[in-house]
Structures are given as C-alpha cells and as structure tokens.
Amino acid sequence: MIEVRDARKWIQNGARRVEILKGISLTIPAGQFVAIVGASGSGKSTLLGLLAGLDTPSSGEIWLDGTPIHNLAETELAAVRGRKIGFVFQSYQLIATLTALENVLLPYELNVEGNGLMRARKLLEEVGLAERMEHYPIQLSGGEQQRVALARAFIVEPPIVMADEPTGNLDSTNGKLVLDLLLERNRQAGTTLVLVTHDPEVASKADRRIVLKDGQIVEDSLPYESVAVEQAQNG
C-alpha cells in the first residue's frame, strides 16, 4: 500500500544544508496499523507529510497504492490525496465557517460525484455526534472537534488514514475514544493506518512500531518484539 525508497528531505539555508530525513526506506502493507514514534525533531511529522503527499521529498521515491507521488504536479497530487488518503491533524483543522456536517461533507463534494449527505450524517452518528451536526467548531469541545475530523477523514472511504498526534490535544477519555474510532476503522474496513504519536500507550496498540532518531529509522518492529528484546537485555 505504501512504499518509500531512500527518501531524503533537507532544507537549504544559504550555504548550509539542514538534513531532516536521511534516507528512509520502508514498505507498509495494506491494512497494517503503523505507529511512528521518536523524540521531538526526529522527523516523524516530516515523514508523515511526505507519505501523505503534503510535502515532496528532496530525493527518493514514495509510492501510494501503486502510484508514484514523489514527482507529481500539485493538481495530480491533490487528486491522489483526495481519493486515497484521509488525514487527521492534531489541531483538528476544521473550517470555522462550516458546521460539523458541512466540514465532514467537504472532501466528498470535492472528490466524489453524487450526494454524500446521508453518509456524512451516518459517520457523525457513528462518532457520537448525532446531536451536534449543525454546530460550528467554536461550539464544540476539543474531543468533539477531533471526532468531526475523524468523520471527515473517513467520508470518501480512503484506503489509507494518516494521523499526526490525533490524541495530543485531548484528555485521556477523549484520547481513548478517538483512538478506538481509528482502530475500529482499521479493523472493520481494512484501512491502512499510519499514526505519529508521542504516547507509548497509543503506540502499543499498533501492529508495528517505527522509531525515528535524527531523521533515520533506528527501530522497526512489532511492539511485542520490542518488549521481548528489552526483557532479554534486562536478564
């Protein structure tokens, strides 16, 4: 579903080149839940942005569902994003002048022919917001806004969902609810889920954990494998 071949990202600052990602290669099969973890500044969000087509690599290749996205023009890239990826931001990124229902419906109207109103309503019901559809973001709590963002990410039934610290701004109760909704979509619809997180508990739910440090992958394993290695090292 996702393949990265020696992807590098740097920023040129005068004569100095700042390396952010230093040669990332990985393959994520369809339906897998991958948690990308690492300290601040390790390159997690940069990598997720490249996978989602929100940014382009300085060199290397990125393939989504058989489509090479590393050299697409922005209009083509936007079309791929619209069809294949649902993205969930830490800061929700809802449009303030649209109701919850209108926010959810927007990707459908931009990318799919037909009327998605019934589907948008059903998704908001599924995330527990049946009574809040006509509310604007300012009238919703953080947890409610993130659930609207989840419904928006699911509306076109993308094969891939990506999330950047989706529980980072939420209390533990709302964080668990949002994670459970993402996991349910992953398990029931077979959606590939790629999630950036600082939370070890969130990462422990993943099928696979990728650890970044200084722009490189330093660990790529299933969570239980990491625990087994740690236990062996500790005797």
Question: What mean pLDDT, rounded, does the chain reach?
Answer: 91
Task: Give residue 111's pLDDT.
Answer: 87
Q: How confident is the model at residue 235 (pLDDT cuts 50, 70, 90)?
A: low
Residue 111 belongs to domain with CATH number:
3.40.50.300
Domain around 216: 2-233
Q: How many CB atoms lie within 10 A of CB 106?
A: 17
Q: List pLDDT tens digits, range 130-185.
A: 999 999 999 999 999 999 999 999 999 999 999 999 999 999 999 999 999 999 99
Task: Give residue 233's pLDDT.
Answer: 54
Of residues 161 and 113, which shows the higher confidence score? Answer: 161
Amino acid at 112: V
Is the pTM here over 0.85, yes or no?
yes
Q: How confident is the model at residue 229 (pLDDT cuts 50, 70, 90)?
A: very low
Q: List pLDDT tens digits, range 173-219.
A: 999 999 999 999 999 889 999 999 998 889 999 999 999 999 999 99
Residue 92 pLDDT exceeds 60: yes
Query: How many domains, the chain?
Result: 1
Of residues 191 and 230, which shows the higher confidence score? Answer: 191
Task: Give residue 228's pLDDT.
Answer: 46
Region 52-65: mean pLDDT is 93
Region 57-70: mean pLDDT is 93
Region 64-70: mean pLDDT is 90
